[in-house]
Amino acid sequence: MNKSKLAIGLLVVGTLTVVFGTVLVFVGPIIIDNQIVKNLVIDPKNEMSYTMWKDVPVPFFMTVYFFNVLNPTEVLAGEKPMVEQRGPYVYRKHIQKRNITFHPNHTVSYLEYRSYFFEPSMSVGNESDVVTIPNMLVLGAAVMMENLPFAVRLMISTTFKTFKEGPFLTMSVGKLMWGYDSKLVDFLNKWLPGMLPSTGKFGLFAEFNNSNTGLFTIHTGKDDIRLIHKVDSWNGLTKLTNWKTPQCNMINGTAGQMWPPFMTKESTLPFYSPDACRSLEMVYQREGIMEGIPLYRYVAPKTLFANGSDYAPNEGFCPCRQSGLLNVSSCRSNSPVFISHPHFYNADPVLLDYVQGLQPTEDQHGLFIDIHPETGVPLNVSIRLQLNLYMKKVSGITETGKISEVMMPMMWFEENGYIDGEILTTFHTNLVLLPMVMVYMQYCFIVLGLATILGVVLLYYRNMLSTTQQRLFPQPRITNQHWCSPLSTSRGAHHSKQSSYEVCSSLTE
């Protein structure tokens, strides 16, 4: 009876264990997803995720390369420009969100400030290095003024000479980056306010340092996790006015730092870039792993900077030139500035014929974002863009000489960041190890339960087999070990036989 009770108990325990493990198989992922949603919502109560969003503790760097012009005199004579890449000059980027305001409609507004600090140990060279690049104030203005009356162009050329501004600048990296004193800039800001994007010193990145990217209002995800980080408005605008079509003027996606969770390979990464003055979109390329964490790599499609002829939806970003160039003059004071991938990667090959010294490769010049698909958190980011100036001869402005029409690369930069250290460890523990433990647990429960049930069944059949064998092949029962033997005969023969029979009978009863 005790053995039967034990067997029944083990059978019940095994069955319950299998049921529990099976339930975990279906309920476990739901529990994990709910926990992800709970922790991702932009809310000060979510201390770790909120701090990461607010202060961005991930190390970010901006790496800058200049295209030093080797033959400026020959370029003015109409020859092909020859350039050499100088750098990298590396700056640590500090990002912090301020003026954070939560709204009743589950959105939050903020200003994101950025500042840059030179890192000599990570750079090849110093900010004091001298390079030669085209003078945007002269060659850019010349293209802007080419349709003005000839007399006006002559006057502009005279103004350049008065302020001793030539077609090329030979200056230190630091001044080219963050600004230099120019009497021409002071003159233009005084008499033609608004013509230049900066009211102080003129530099390629002067307006970016110690500044903000505009007032972003994004969704917190509290009411719908699918909307988290998506831009609701920028500087109060829900659409732009720089471009020609409603589609091109749309503000799509996030602010470019995080995306909604539960991404698939069909998902894209749309984001709005104030620096590019438009929304951009990246597409899935492949799977990968970073420090044991699964990721999806997203890259820029070839259509990103394609012209309207090669990709009709981009017609609204025109006037366009060759594919691979984005005309940002409409948001850069009409200066003939174009953005591209570094070294004209993924651009029309004809652009490489105009300039000598460019060698595009995907590894060095393609941009990518490695993202954890379950959370939408970027693990490794590398955004690479090149700044180009459209140059040509403009009659009446002698500073342009006999310059051939050319898309001149001036510099390119890479903004990259990656999760490491304690943040990476926490990320790995919460999003890789714990879910893995739960997966192993659920299958361990199932295996353990099945093993218990199988053990009980095997014991049951073993006992049944033993009982059956005993019934089919019974063993003789011997209760006495004495043999029957004839008794000594002192009486007659008949009497002896009877006695012998009685004795044997008594022995076998």
Buried b (16+ CB within 10 A) or exposed e, 175-200: bbbbbbebebbeebbeeeeeebeeee
Report the SS3 class of residue 63.
strand
Q: Which residues contact 333 (CB under 8 A, 6 or more apart)?
A: 194, 195, 196, 197
Q: Which two tokens mark 99?
A: 């003026």
φ/ψ of 291, rounded to 5, equals 50, 40
Peptide bond before 134: cis, by omega within 30 degrees of 0?
no
CA–CA separation, 376 vs 371, rounded Å? 6
Element (H, E) at 218: strand 211-219
Res 7 pLDDT > 90: no
How confident is the model at residue 470, as a pLDDT?
66
Res 494 pLDDT > 60: no
φ/ψ of 43, rounded to 5, equals -155, 130
Which of 153-162, 170-179, 471-480 has the least mean pLDDT? 471-480
φ/ψ of 215, rounded to 5, equals -85, 110
Most trustworthy range by pLDDT among 19-28, 392-401, 489-498? 392-401
CA–CA separation, 299 vs 292, rounded Å? 21
Res 202 pLDDT > 90: no
How confident is the model at residue 291, as a pLDDT?
85
Query: Is the CB of residue 341 less than 8 Å from the CB of residue 386?
Result: yes
How confident is the model at residue 271, as a pLDDT?
96
Closest CA to 242 of 347, 333, 323: 333
How confident is the model at residue 199, as a pLDDT?
60
How confident is the model at residue 176, as a pLDDT?
96
Res 320 pLDDT > 90: no
Res 490 pLDDT > 60: no
How confident is the model at residue 469, as a pLDDT?
65
CA–CA separation, 189 vs 209, rounded Å? 20
Taking the CA atoms of residue 444, residue 450, residue 451 and residue 457 in that order, the dihedral angle to the nearest 10 degrees is 170
Reported as half-sphere exposure (CB side, CA atoms, 13 A), residue 448 has a value of: 12
Q: Which of the two residues, 164 and 448, has the higher pLDDT score?
A: 164
CA–CA separation, 268 vs 352, rounded Å? 30
Q: Which of the two residues, 323 and 460, has the higher pLDDT score?
A: 323
Q: Which two tokens mark 387?
A: 């700044």
How confident is the model at residue 39, as a pLDDT?
83
CA–CA separation, 338 vs 390, rounded Å? 7
Query: Is the CB of residue 256 less than 8 Å from the CB of residue 272?
Result: yes
Q: Which of the two residues, 283 and 191, has the higher pLDDT score?
A: 283
Res 144 pLDDT > 50: yes
Q: Average the pLDDT over 407-421 and give the result.
A: 93
How confident is the model at residue 493, as a pLDDT?
46
pLDDT band at 18 (very low <50, low <70, confident <90, very high): confident
Q: What is the pLDDT of residues 338-391, one digit of tens each?
A: 999 999 999 999 999 999 999 999 999 999 999 999 989 999 999 999 999 999
Q: What is the pLDDT of residues 424-445, one digit of tens each?
A: 787 777 777 777 777 777 778 7
Which of 57-71, 307-321, 477-491 has the least mean pLDDT? 477-491
* Residue with token string 């009685």: 502
How confident is the model at residue 42, as a pLDDT?
94
One-letter amino acid of 130: V
pLDDT band at 503 (very low <50, low <70, confident <90, very high): very low
pTM for the whole structure: 0.82
Which of 40-44, 318-322, 424-428 has the least mean pLDDT? 424-428
How confident is the model at residue 115, as a pLDDT?
94
pLDDT band at 196 (very low <50, low <70, confident <90, very high): low
Res 1 pLDDT > 60: no
Which of 16-20, 24-28, 163-167, 253-257 has the least mean pLDDT? 24-28
Report the SS3 class of residue 324.
coil
Closest CA to 374 of 439, 300, 427: 427
Which of 206-220, 377-391, 486-500 has the least mean pLDDT? 486-500
CA–CA separation, 68 vs 410, rounded Å? 8
**Distances, alpha carbon 373 to alpha carbons 300, 304, 415, in Å:** 17, 22, 22
Res 400 pLDDT > 90: yes
Q: What is the pLDDT of residues 115-138, one digit of tens each?
A: 999 999 999 989 999 999 999 989
Report the SS3 class of residue 413.
strand
How confident is the model at residue 507, as a pLDDT?
41
Q: What is the pLDDT of residues 467-485, one digit of tens each?
A: 776 666 666 555 555 445 4
φ/ψ of 217, rounded to 5, equals -125, 120
Beta bridge partners of 412: 65, 386
Domain boundaries, the chain: 1-57+424-462, 59-419
Buried b (16+ CB within 10 A) or exposed e, 237-272: eeebeebeeeebbbbbbbbbbbbbbebeeebebbbb
How confident is the model at residue 253, as a pLDDT?
95
CA–CA separation, 494 vs 92, rounded Å? 128
Res 495 pLDDT > 50: no
pLDDT band at 335 (very low <50, low <70, confident <90, very high): confident
One-letter amino acid of 177: M
Helix (H), strand (E), coil (C) string for 408-450: EEEEEEEEEEECCHHHHHHHHHHHHHHHHHHHHHHHHHHHHHH
Q: Which of the two residues, 342 and 463, has the higher pLDDT score?
A: 342
DSSP string, 68-123: EES-HHHHHTTPPPBEEEEEEEEEEEEEEEEEEEEETTTEEEEEEEEEEEE-GGGS
Q: What is the pLDDT of residues 270-287, one digit of tens each?
A: 999 998 899 999 999 999
**Distances, alpha carbon 10 to alpha carbons 18, 448, 449, 463, in Å:** 12, 11, 9, 16
Q: Average the pLDDT over 30-41 and give the result.
A: 81
How confident is the model at residue 472, as a pLDDT?
66
Beta bridge partners of 283: 299
Q: Chain-wide mean pLDDT for the chain?
A: 86
Q: What is the DSSP secondary structure assignment for residue 405, as one 8-state letter? A: P
